[in-house]
Structure 1
Amino acid sequence: MTSSTNNDNNADNNTKKGATENFSAPENVLVELRQKIDQVDGEILQLISNRAKLAQEVAIFKKEHADEVDTNPIFYRPEREAQVLKNIMKRNQASDSPISDEKMARLFREIMSVCLDLEAPQKIAFLGPVGTFTHAAALKHFGKASTTVPLTTITDVFREVEAGSAMYGVVPVENSSEGVVNHTLDGFLTSSLKIIGEVELPIHHNFLVAEHTKIDSLSRIYSHQQSLAQCRHWLDVNYPNVERVQVSSNGEAARRLKNEWHSAAIAGDVAVAEYDLHKLHENIEDNPGNTTRFLIIGHEDIAPSGQDKTSILVSAHNKAGALIEILKPLSKHGVSMTSIETRPERPNKWSYVFFIDMEGHIEDENVRAAIEEIRPLVRDVRILGSYPQAVI
């Protein structure tokens, strides 16, 4: 009986031992994986630190050589950043990374933003207030290490950059659903600033409420007029009897919820974080492909990046067939036009100017040849800028 009891005890002990081993094995795997992550994190940290030190060396070099020629050094190079991001996306495609190309590029965008801030802090003016899609575009293009300054109007953004109070400006120029932003085009009629870059931002609207909002008692929905238009069908279906109130921006719409318990707002993700709001509904836009294009404005000419756009402002003669004459050289030299807009040429009555976007850089032989062929056909041609096409 004693032998039988001992055997039973041994069997129980073996069963418990086996169970313990089976339970601890997954834990051991997790510990090993976490150790590997810690090791990789250390390597990443060292590499980022090395990159930051190289950025500092670049800044020192630029400052030293700028002193020699008595000019201000340029630290932000759009064409260089575009090339780096495109290269990162290309290399990511060739790897077995589970991270998408765009998300990987966004990670590097933030690293580059921090490194650029070490070289020279960047002050960026944008059409405010905080929480607008223009704010989101500024952060997407320059990264979160940049200093962003909200301004009331597009004219103010132009003025701030012209005066040197901000290094660059971000302004909206067209929306895929609502069309061109005339105030931005008009800004170039009287400004000497140039286009140095572009941002394309998918526009996703959220239905936002505050923590104190009484959802069952909503009486107002605030948003910019374009956002209300872009969500019209969704609002008709879900909130047909709630008043829609137009305000100056989506950021202003979000700000108003702070002191109102019976209101909601339509705005983007940046407004959620900036004003501590909650998404009651996401992506309520009627057109899922809704996108807004923004321009980066500054003073300098930009070197070719390999995938560029050129924008020109053409003042045509007031005669029949003027536009056809302008377009023929583009076709002749194989230049692809991506956009054309017409604006009144103030203060001349019944005179118009054309804003034309085309693929290629002004240093490309076919682009330059086409523009030179246009010059004698019109009263004036002004090159607004050659700049990298939007990468992410």
Structure 2
Amino acid sequence: MVISIAHLGPVGTNAETAALAYADWLEKTQDKTSLLCPCPSIAQTLHSVAKGDTKKAVVPVENSTEGTVVSTLDTLWQLDNLKIQQELVLPIVHALFSRGTSLNGIKTVYSHPQALAQCQGWLQEHLPNVALIPTNSTAEALEKISLEPTSGAIAAPRAAKLYNVPIIANEINDYQDNCTRFWVMTLEPTPTVSSRISLGFSVSENVPGSLMKPLKVFSERNINLSRIESRPTKRSLGEYIFYLDIEGNHEDPKIINALDNLTHHTEIIKIYGSYSVLLLKKTDIEQL
């Protein structure tokens, strides 16, 4: 059976790279063949799985330098049936592409907002006066510059051979240890030995102690939280959804007890899944 995997497209995005790496891992470890299905947005990527159009989706959730990819969390909160199958940690390298001959002639730079933010120090130093224009993906940025010799695009180096556009500056991200977490989402996750659990919850009212009580559930049981952050509920100013990553296995009795107890201190709670983490290397990406 061929497994269809949705990802943010078009060809050449970091999401596609993560999906390719996951497909390669599936083939090597489970002897499964995959079909990659590019989507125009992260939201549509997740909805394609929720509607059953694809079997899985690979979506970015957090970057080591720029933080959370909010469209992923916001869309997941709207959907009730998607679960995390696996986490992929992808090393991120950005390059500047242009059909011009030098940096001096560039007046505009296109890229995904995350990529622009991850290279803002380099851009300020080398191209302080250019216009920065966000696109839906890094690959879309490459399409924008095809007929514009005075423009540049920030994308992954592997896109050079895909779009036949020259790289005029490589490894321009501000931090060399730059990586992005991706979640593999599905309707029917296969049980695995997990090392992390992700969830989101809202509280019934914005009063003193409303967040402390849910967090105390974990501290009392000596359960470590590797991430906590908030997003607005979009219902009213001052109302938030809280997202947590928990270190541990979903079969651990103290975690089972904590999650059960958590329901007494929350309004809505969504367990997105328990999963293991696959760390990818630059050498893995270079072979794709």
Which TM-score bucket, shorter chain as reference? Answer: 0.7 to 0.9
Higher relative contact order (CA 8 A, sep 6+): 2
The reply to whether residue 128 of structure 1 matches residue 9 of structure 2 is yes
Sort the Cα spacing of 1:242 and 1:341 in 2 relative to 1 into closer, same or farther, 3 A: closer
Segment drifting more, 149-158 vs 241-250: 241-250
Counterpart amino acid of 1:132? T
Pairwise CA distance, 1:262 = 2.8
Q: Which moved more, 1:282-291 or 1:226-235?
A: 226-235
Aligned match of 1:297: 185
Alignment correspondent of 1:138: 19
CA distance in 2, matches of 1:180, 1:227: 13
TM-score, normalization by structure 1? 0.64
CA contact (8 A) 1:199 1:293 kept: yes
Partner of 1:275 in structure 2? 163
What is the CA–CA distance in structure 2 between the aligned matches of 1:179 and 1:171, rounded to whole Å?
14
Deviations 1:152-205 (A, max 9, x none): 122211221012111101111111222212211111222121111111112211
Give me the identity figure in percent.
33
Name the structure 2 match of 1:203.
Answer: 92
Q: Aligned partner of 1:203: which letter?
A: I
Query: 3-state DSSP class of the match of 1:390?
Result: strand
Relative to structure 1, the CA distance from residue 308 to residue 276 in structure 2 (aligned partners, 3 Å threshold; closer, same or farther) is same
Q: Match for 1:147 among 2, 14, 35?
A: 35
Separation in 2, partners of 1:183, 1:235 = 25
Residue identity in the other structure for 1:324? M
Aligned partner (choices 59, 70, 80) of residue 182 of structure 1: 70
Structure 1: unaligned runs, 5 residues or longer? 1-119
Which amino acid counterpart does residue 204 of structure 2 have in structure 1?
H
Matching residue of 2:136: 248
Partner deviation per Cα, 1:23-77 (whole Å, 9 max, x = no partner): xxxxxxxxxxxxxxxxxxxxxxxxxxxxxxxxxxxxxxxxxxxxxxxxxxxxxxx
Rg larger for: 1
Greater fraction strand? 2
TM-score of the superposed pair, with normalisation by structure 2: 0.85
**Helix, strand or coil for the counterpart of 2:211?**
helix
Q: Say which SS state the counterpart of residue 343 (structure 1) adopts.
A: strand
1:220 aligns to 2:108 (yes or no): yes
1:206-256, CA deviations, whole angstroms, 9 ceiling, x for partnerless residues? 11234xx33363333222233222222222332334443332221111122
In structure 2, what is the Cα distance between the partners aligned to 1:147 and 1:198?
Answer: 19
For 1:362-373, what aligned pairs fall within 5 Å after superposition?
Answer: 362-373=250-261
Name the amino acid aligned to 1:196: Q
Paired with 1:238 and 1:187, the residues of 2 have a C-alpha distance of 36
* 1:300 Cα offset (Å): 1.6
In structure 1, the residue corresponding to 2:176 is in which secondary structure?
coil
SS, match of residue 223 in structure 2:
coil
**Residues 324 and 234 of structure 1: is their aligned pair in 2 closer, same or farther, counting only changes over 3 Å?**
same
- Structure 1 CA distance for aligned equivalents of residues 164 and 214 of structure 2: 51
Q: Would the aligned equivalents of 1:221 and 1:264 in 2 still touch at CA under 8 Å?
A: yes
Q: CA–CA distance in 1 between the matches of 2:202 and 2:134?
A: 35
312 and 236 in structure 1: CA distance in 2 versus 1, 3 angstrom threshold: closer
For this pair of structures, how many residues does the alignment match?
270
Displacement of 1:348 in angstroms is 5.8
Query: Are residue 311 (structure 1) and residue 171 (structure 2) matched?
Result: no
8 Å CA contact 2:8, 2:137 repeated in 1 = no
